[in-house]
A and B are shown apart, each in its own frame.
Chain A
Amino acid sequence: MPEAMIKESETSLCSLPDAGGHFGVYGGRFVSETLMGPLEELEQAYHKYVNDPDFIAEFQRDLKHFVGRPSPLYHAERWSEKLGGAQIYLKREDLNHTGAHKVNNTVGQALLAKRMGKKRIIAETGAGQHGVASATVAARYGMECIVYMGAEDIQRQAINVFRMKLLGATVVPVKAGSKTLKDALNEAMRDWVTNVDDTFYIIGTVAGPHPYPAMVRDFNAVVGKEARQQSLEQFDRLPDYLVACVGGGSNAIGLFHPFLDDSQVQIYGVEAAGDGLDTGRHAAPLNAGKSGVLHGNRTYLMEDNYGQIIETHSISAGLDYPGVGPEHAWLKDTGRANYVAVTDDEALQAFHSLTRIEGIIPALESSHALAYVEKLAPNTDKDKIIVVNLSGRGDKDIHTVAAHEGISL
């Protein structure tokens, strides 16, 4: 690691990535030569517009009037009471238009695409949330939209597939490999490398080649910026704990990033332990994987001894991914954030708890964060404060939950 990078990171944890897109040893730009030029072009456009007052104004206007921001920071009083410890606040990303945090990023990237003169957008999706968010902004800004989705995920998420089609997107089933999110990402990259001239690739998470991890983080950082301000307004101080689920990690980094320099705030990212970390059937690279290179960046991966990517498992399609954003890998190694994992069963239990106690049906992804709060809160004092990112609503998951419980709808 170059010395300058270490010094820089000591002054502010928010100053990364470096010019090459590195977070310590992670991140970077590991793509075939054909994509290097387009990525440089994207990086330049991003740096230009991220500081452009017109761009910022348009982004903020659409976040307010189209997405419905700011999202509330809701005090879950009954749930806090039941768990018997810290006061729990939910950052209500589930109330956004399209039902999850994903739309913050797709609005930002679509506006960027528009300014770069790209008429065609492509996206990959796992659970379908990012696909829906991409199809939504494509309709909103009048662009063609192609969504790559694993054939298996198409089966699991029929409602979101239909939603994307209603919005005018073409959904392309990906039948290669494990037929899930990682294969959809491979296929979207192949499309991009072939159609780079007129196509903008909207990556849905904080992974991929530089500048995606930084760009997607910055568009989602509105979550943490609002939460920080709302904390000061609502309880006159910063929270003691932040909790968010981590698949690729976009909702988590969006919440965490504005708090990284607030060393008194403890940060917890929650991965999907699936059937359990010891079973091998999970999607928890930070807890049980090792460093490697996939999808354009160096990060923690689920891989075998020969570096082949292995299939992951989670009840939540949005967490079912063998990699994780490089900034999370770096936050883990530096110890600034803690990464834990909860099982499918624990997430389902939390799904029911929140639904029954607070009247809010959470996404199965977000239920992983909630499940960790159920472990954390009882061991904390009542005057402590936990902010958890309720990253999405659970309507899309009711079929999965019903099927898991042997109920046919």
Chain B
Amino acid sequence: MSRIEARFSELSANNKKALIPFITAGDPSIEQTLMLMHELVKAGADCIELGVPFSDPMADGPVIQRASERALAGGTTTDDVFDLVKQFRQDDDTTPVILMGYLNPIEVMGYQLFADRAEQAGVDGVLVVDLPPEESHEFNQVFSQNHIDQIFLVSPTTHGERLIRICEVASGFLYYVSLKGVTGSNQLDIDAVSGKLEEIRQHTNIPLGVGFGIKDAKTAAEVAAICDAVIIGSALVERIAEYSDNSEQLKIEVSAFIHAIRNALDK
């Protein structure tokens, strides 16, 4: 059983919802990211989504875009991301790690080499924002042979045939993009999300995560009530940016923020 599957069945058995924070590898530095990953788990994260920085993050809003820019300015490379996961695994062998990013850094390395290195490092899933199922046949084969789940996105504009097709190829969990827009947008409509999740449920039994636009504990709890996992990105990354020059304060703020969301989810 994969770490992702194990984690979701454990949560489900305890009637709990998964909390999945997103942070960008190398923001503010690789060392700090490693520290933050452990802190996130301690504060109640069930799974970590680790952003692989890219120069042109088209689907991201300004907050995550700037995180990518900071990471790249600090010299973060794909090699560093693998090393980071490897180091994290020395102390944590159960929390799933999902790499989230764009296709080009993977394409330039080659699907097979990237998948091999990711598997060796202890990566459990990949979410490639600009790789829809139509273009991911070969990618999907390579990564599933390496026991890495490909996490697919479903959006408010995903309908009919395409929704069915995505449900067929998805593994790990499905990531529902709660609104039309980029990461960090501000207009999440809980009724609309709920309706779409019901539609998705008709086609699959794998866990459903919801992300984009979840900014605080209250929204997180509302969303968690209708899905299996909530993903928190920009709101967290914003705090990292704010306290990036004070490592101790950063640890305290990030921990408190995730802890509050954990509590709200478990109420």
Contact = CB atoms under 8 A, between A and B. Distances in A.
A121 to B, nearest CB: 18
B154 interface: yes
Interface residues of A, number: 40
Contacts of B69: 176-177
Interface string B102-144: 1111111100000000000000000001111011000000000
Range, interface on chain B: 35 or more
B202 to A, nearest CB: 18
Interface string B89-113: 0000000000000111111110000
A33 B103 CA distance: 14
B157 A34 contact: yes
B155 A37 contact: yes
Q: Which of A29, A183, A186, A189 has most chain B Cβ within 10 Å?
A: A186
Interface stretch (A67-75, A289-297, A374-382): A289-297
Contacts of A33: 132, 152-155, 157-158, 177
A258 B207 CA distance: 51
A194 B181 contact: yes
Nearest to A195: B180
A187 to B, nearest CB: 9
A196 B103 contact: no
B105 A36 contact: no
Interface stretch (B55-63, B216-224, B228-236, B248-256): B55-63
A295 B72 CA distance: 19
Interface string A306-321: 1111100000000000
B177 A34 contact: yes
Interface string A23-34: 000001111111
Interface of A: 20, 28-38, 176-177, 182-183, 186, 189-190, 193-197, 290-296, 298, 301, 303, 305-310
Interface of B: 54-59, 61-62, 65, 69, 72, 77-78, 102-109, 129-132, 134-135, 152-159, 162, 177, 180-182, 185
19 contacts: A28-B135, A33-B152, A35-B157, A36-B157, A36-B158, A37-B159, A176-B69, A186-B56, A193-B180, A193-B181, A194-B180, A195-B180, A292-B104, A293-B102, A293-B107, A294-B104, A301-B104, A307-B104, A308-B72
